[in-house]
A and B are shown apart, each in its own frame.
Chain A
Amino acid sequence: MGTENDLTVRDRFQALLGRDDAHLWLFGIGAVVLAVLPFALSTFWTRIALGALMWIGLAQSWNMIGGYAGYLDFGHGAYFGVGAFVTGIVMVELELPFVAGLLIAGVFCAVLAYVVGVPTLRLSGAYFAIATWAFAEAIKELALILEITGGTYGMTFPTGPGTSGIPLVGWPDEMFFYYLMMVLTLGTIALAYFLFEHSEFGFRVKAIRDHEDAAQSLGIDATKIKRRVYVISCVIAALFGGANAYYITFIHPNDVLAPIITDQMIIMALLGGLGTIGGPIIGGVLIFLLNRLSSLFLGNTTIYLPLIGLLIMVTVLFAPSGVIGILRGEVGREDVKQNLRELAEKFDIL
């Protein structure tokens, strides 16, 4: 019964995606559903939904540089944390509203990503991965030392009416943050779609991922394009960082700059499918629910770590194109069997 049923679902899915305006329809329907969703949910589930939205956006931002451009950024979480701290510093030290803080954080991280990107993007492969990883760890250590970030004490955000800087918003509640994250996430998805799936720019980026030298020999300015993708993806991470910080009202370098932030972005994009629009959406929802539900039902927050590690390994081994790859029929039962056979051959060590 399984195969036939699977095929019909898959066929329908493909037929749906085959239409020219399918993506627009999906996006529109998704936006409307998301807009009315909080009215149907309790406060608890609204919080879960807004968390899932944030992680979809973050995974998509990582997917831009990691999935579309093929540059494994192991320090993407640094911008999430820097965005959080800049927003906080603007709100606490300059006493400006949240909107101003978020904008300044975006601009600051754009400049930072540009300055960091120029030398770092000259590296490739493992070198780029280690460099970004070390950069993020250095930023975390710096935030622990500096006074303006609160050092090891962390930073508390101003809350209450008037702090948001958005007219008609009183005390910022779940509804406010839900719609904030919704706008940011839908904006990120739309941006990713138009940049990478619907423009010449996207073809250039993918050409660089597939063969950088060949792309360059065809006249593509790889340095410039990579830098643009890097800056855009980092600014998005920073915006989410700022929004999340205002939502949780207290931030600490060991939380918002923790390596697990980057880990999650990577596994979400990978599990869903690297270099696709749908991948980070699927991966983001699945992993975020796994995270929430494992702490909710198992009452144990650390079991999530080995689960995620295992999931990364299994995905890389058997479904490198992720859930999207399975839906598109790129990874079937035969491929997994083939994979297992080839893996078994490599155990021939005697």
Chain B
Amino acid sequence: MVSTELLSQSIINGLLLGGIYVTVGVGFALVFGVLEIIDFAVGEYVMLGAFTGAIVAPMVGGEGLLVVPLAFVAFFLVGVVIQPFIHHVTTGDRPMPLLMGLVFTFGLATFMRGSILTIFGPNTRNVPTNALSGGIEIGGLGTFPEVRVVTAVVGVLSLVAFMYYLYRTTGGTAIRAIAEDRDIARLMGVNINRYQSIAYGVYAGLTATGGVFIGLIYSAGPGMGLQYTAFAFFMIVLAGLGYLPGIIISGIVLGLAQSLTAVYLGGELVFFVLFGMIYVLLLVRPEGLLGKGEVA
């Protein structure tokens, strides 16, 4: 293969991957803004989404794509129910409320991972699909698996829908108001409980949907969550904590970095570089590379 073709192939593959990472990242960043906690369970929602795909798809004629809307609705509801717990833990007169919230999501993540491991065993499973088995030729740059292209398209579409909701509707305005100042939003008559639950539900739904697609591209395994937690952390640290639009850039950077390191550096270095970058970035530029996040 000509090396320029390999390069363009990996760049496009990276861009396509980035599309789905962005959907995971925006919800995550929104929840950080609204609940002021880092959700350690983010990767486990990806894992649960992928597992839902692997378990439910065979029941609906072996078509993973049909699981996508179902996963969104199911995990939206799960998120709506989980949010009050997190809200409760981070408020009130308990000592170190924010740290308690952090530990709580940490426990939640352990619970989710452990449950799936116990119930379904350590094996990875495929998320089957019939509709997306071919490849798409893109203007002389190479052929790309349909599933990746559709994933990226859905990723971008859900991002647009999400942004529309957040910036063009009353509910979205309420959520942004809470993210800016919870107490003042309450004084303005915003139902904090409802909109925080909706925000967390949308985040859980989006992340699980992303998980179904990630399952379609790779596979579903109980241990996969940790990697995506790391990815989500990487994205918000790169974008600057709490800065939503930065996620689009950092998600694409992540997709590109992953596909390029895998091709040119070798797989075993990917995680060392990734975790090392999260650590160094937090120390050097806690406001994010774009300089618009909050500083601790």
Contact = CB atoms under 8 A, between A and B. Distances in A.
A131 B296 CA distance: 12
A93 interface: no
B223 to A, nearest CB: 11
Contact of A134 (B80, B94, B108, B233): B233
B272 A313 contact: no
B296 A123 contact: yes
Interface stretch (B57-65, B153-161, B256-264, B275-283): B275-283
A348 interface: yes
A72 B275 contact: no
Contacts of B114: 302-309
Contact of A123 (B87, B94, B112, B282): B282
Given A310-B111, A313-B111, A72 B102 contact: yes
Among B98, B279, B282, B296, which residue has the most Cβ atoms of chain A within 10 A? Answer: B279
Interface residues of A, number: 57
Contacts of B197: 349
Interface size class of B (residues with CB under 8 A): 35 or more
Contacts of B296: 123-128
Contact of A320 (B94, B112, B268): B94
Given A138-B275, A263-B106, A72 B99 contact: yes
A145 B269 CA distance: 8
Nearest to A345: B193
Given A134-B275, A270-B103, A302 B118 contact: yes
Contacts of A300: 118
B282 A127 contact: yes
Nearest to A300: B118
A190 interface: no
A305 B116 CA distance: 10
Interface string B97-111: 011101110111111
A312 B103 contact: yes
Interface in B280-296: 282-283, 286, 296
A130 B276 contact: no
B98 A126 contact: yes
Contacts of A297: none
Nearest to B234: A134
Contact of A131 (B85, B98, B283): B283
Contacts of A305: 110-111, 113-115, 117-118
B95 A321 contact: yes
A266 interface: yes
Given A145-B272, A263-B106, A347-B84, A127 B95 contact: no
Interface of A: 70, 72, 74, 119-120, 122-131, 133-135, 137-138, 141-142, 144-145, 209, 259, 263, 266-267, 270, 274, 300, 302-313, 316-317, 320-321, 339, 342-343, 345-350
Interface of B: 37-38, 80, 84-85, 87-89, 92, 94-96, 98-100, 102-104, 106-115, 117-118, 122, 191, 193-194, 197-198, 226, 230, 233, 237, 241, 268-269, 271-272, 275-276, 278-279, 282-283, 286, 296
Given A125-B296, A347-B84, 6 more contacts: A130-B282, A137-B230, A145-B272, A259-B226, A310-B107, A320-B95
